[in-house]
Chains A and B, each alone.
Chain A
Amino acid sequence: MKKIPSRFAKVIPMPRFPLWERLHSQKKALSLDLELTCRCNLNCRHCYINLSAGDKKAQEKELSFNQIKRIVDEAACQGAVWCLLTGGEPLLRKDFFEIYLYLKQKGLLVSLFTNATLITPAHVELFKKYPPRDIEVTVYGVTKETYERVTRCKGSFKAFWRGLNLLLKNGVRVRLKSTVMRANFKELALIREFCNQHTKDYFRFDPFLHLRLDRNPARNREIVAERLTPEEIVQIERDDHKRIHALKKDCDRLIQERFRYPKGNRLFYCGAGSGSFYITYDGYFKLCSSLHHPRFMYDLKKGSIRNAFNKIRPRVLSAVSYKEGFLKKCSVCSIVNLCLWCPAHTYLETKTLDSPVDYFCAVAHARKEAIEKAIIRKK
């Protein structure tokens, strides 16, 4: 006979649920990002992935609903709890409704990244009945001129505004964010104000534009041209009081006087693959969205998630560098935590996993200087 415990059921706040810690310590993946397509109805200047909405070749490569089901079944079976639907623009998929409902019915907590321009009343009904954990919409501008300067699509601002309003008016949980680039830099204050007015969550922006996964040279030149200077990045971070406060609070970790990279010549220190993984639109497993290197990708059309982890994770953990540039610069850098550098981003910039990148370095040093100045002013 078993003893009966004092309580049968308990409601535990999500962050304090003991399961997360357990799954993390067992190196189980809690979440997966599912890239439904690389196609998009917009043509943003900074985008690292988009192909046109009508790109037949890209569409043919997309995972079918049945292939997605198989992947999701295995992920859920292994304990995945969160699933992010991303793209491209996920709503371009004609079977979006089926995919979304399938994920919900598997008991996954679903998030969605969308530009909101394709939201219809039918989507709203779906999200009202089967609520997503959240929907993240990127605000490229709050005026038609700025928004469409980024998206390069006539009528996109009107479509965005209509879609966002549909979501907000119907009480769908939306979080707003922005990617900051030369094309919308001057409007950032207005974008921040707009986002803070329309959602309760902390508005966040990303000033880092990483290069194309397909290495399209013309598109990469456009992305580089859109990047802010280190000084501009520091300026917008300084103007965001919450952000600068968080940076100052974490100062000891971000600026380490006697830093020595703890893993010697090992390349990856980011914990890639310890809690999540990423599925590309054409069925490749990656440990993070940016790590688009053939050695660290696995074709899930030919194997399982378990096999993918068993094959890719050891490769990541054992990846080392003997290159002087890495050993003398990045691996001993005291401000590596302020830097955009990581093997994945570096690979997109230089086709190597271990080269320093001057732009990243300049941004990190500018950030360090700004944090130190802010601390001195406080004293």
Chain B
Amino acid sequence: MNKTKWFTKSFIPAHEAVVARQIQGEFVLIPILSGIGDLEDAIFSLNETGKAIWNKLDGKKTLAQITQELAKEYQASPSRIANDVAGLIKELLKRKMIEEVKVGPVKENKPFSRKKSVR
């Protein structure tokens, strides 16, 4: 996939398919729908940075914007952060734990409508 195009995309947690839980400091993703996560006998755990990315997946921010935000918060080169963000997003997509949000042309002065933008 074209890397530039990839970073223009926005994603949102698949709320009907997976539950994110913070349990005693561990951030874990627990699949609730069939075929999600391939995690019959395993736990999908995100570290602090993974959790930060997860929490930024609001369907509005593009991956490029998320990468920029992380670059301000974390001590690493933008290219390293970009690679890591892409890696995690691919992993989450493979496990159907997030969904791509197709954002249409947004008219000015109108608030973002999640309902309309989610497939």
Interface residues in chain A, defined as those with a beta carbon under 8 Å from any beta carbon in chain B: 1-5, 7-14, 17-19, 22-23, 26, 28, 76, 79, 81, 104-109, 128-131, 173
A4 CB contact (under 8 Å) in B25, B30, B80: B80
Docked Cα-Cα span, A3 to B76, in Å, equals 7
Q: B53 near A: Cβ within 8 Å? A: yes
A105 CB contact (under 8 Å) in B25, B32, B41, B88: B32
B24 CB contact (under 8 Å) in A1, A8, A9, A23: A23
Q: Which of A7, A22, A26 gathers most chain B CB within 10 Å?
A: A7
- The answer to whether A106 touches B19 (Cβ under 8 A) is yes
- The answer to whether B42 touches A107 (Cβ under 8 A) is no
A9 CB contact (under 8 Å) in B23, B30, B34, B50: B50
- The answer to whether B19 touches A4 (Cβ under 8 A) is no
Q: Which residues 20-46 of B sit at the A interface, judged by CB distance below 8 A?
A: 20-21, 23-26, 28, 30, 32-34, 39-46
Q: Which residues of B contact A131 (CB under 8 A)?
A: 34
- Taking the closest CB of chain B, its distance from the CB of A54, in whole angstroms, is 34
- Taking the closest CB of chain B, its distance from the CB of A286, in whole angstroms, is 23
Q: Which residues of B contact A28 (CB under 8 A)?
A: 24
- The answer to whether A4 touches B75 (Cβ under 8 A) is yes
Docked Cα-Cα span, A28 to B23, in Å, equals 11
- Taking the closest CB of chain A, its distance from the CB of B66, in whole angstroms, is 12
Q: Which residues of A contact B26 (CB under 8 A)?
A: 17-19
B23 CB contact (under 8 Å) in A1, A4, A8, A79: A79
Q: B113 near A: Cβ within 8 Å? A: no
Chain B, residue nearest A81 (CB): B23
Known pairs A11-B43, A14-B43, A107-B19; A2 contacts B74 (CB<8 A) = yes
Q: Which residues of B contact A10 (CB under 8 A)?
A: 44-45, 47
* A to B CB contacts below 8 Å, 5 in the list: A1-B73, A2-B49, A4-B74, A4-B76, A14-B42
Known pairs A26-B24, A106-B19; A9 contacts B88 (CB<8 A) = yes
Known pairs A1-B73, A2-B74, A10-B45; A105 contacts B19 (CB<8 A) = yes
Q: Which residues of B contact A22 (CB under 8 A)?
A: 24-25
Q: B69 near A: Cβ within 8 Å? A: no
Q: Which residues of A contact B30 (CB under 8 A)?
A: 107-109
A-B contact count (CB 8 A): 92
Known pairs A17-B43, A17-B45; A8 contacts B53 (CB<8 A) = yes
Docked Cα-Cα span, A300 to B30, in Å, equals 27
Q: Which residues of B contact A3 (CB under 8 A)?
A: 74-76
A13 CB contact (under 8 Å) in B28, B41, B74, B76: B41
| Among all A-B residue pairs, the 4 with the closest Cβ atoms | A107-B19, A8-B50, A1-B75, A4-B76
Q: B84 near A: Cβ within 8 Å? A: yes
- The answer to whether B73 touches A2 (Cβ under 8 A) is yes
- Taking the closest CB of chain A, its distance from the CB of B69, in whole angstroms, is 13
Known pairs A19-B23, A107-B21; A12 contacts B32 (CB<8 A) = no
- The answer to whether A13 touches B42 (Cβ under 8 A) is yes
Docked Cα-Cα span, A23 to B25, in Å, equals 11
Interface membership of chain B positions 80-98, coded 1 if the CB is closer than 8 angstroms to chain A and 0 otherwise: 1100100110011000000
- The answer to whether A129 touches B50 (Cβ under 8 A) is no
- The answer to whether A14 touches B24 (Cβ under 8 A) is no
Q: Which residues of A contact B33 (CB under 8 A)?
A: 129-130
Chain A, residue nearest B76 (CB): A4
- The answer to whether B47 touches A5 (Cβ under 8 A) is yes
Chain A, residue nearest B31 (CB): A131
- The answer to whether B42 touches A9 (Cβ under 8 A) is no
Chain B, residue nearest A3 (CB): B75
- The answer to whether A128 touches B34 (Cβ under 8 A) is yes
Q: Which residues of B contact A105 (CB under 8 A)?
A: 19, 32
- The answer to whether B39 touches A11 (Cβ under 8 A) is yes
Interface membership of chain B positions 50-89, coded 1 if the CB is closer than 8 angstroms to chain A and 0 otherwise: 1001000000000000000000011110001100100110
- The answer to whether B74 touches A1 (Cβ under 8 A) is yes
Known pairs A28-B24, A106-B19; A11 contacts B74 (CB<8 A) = no
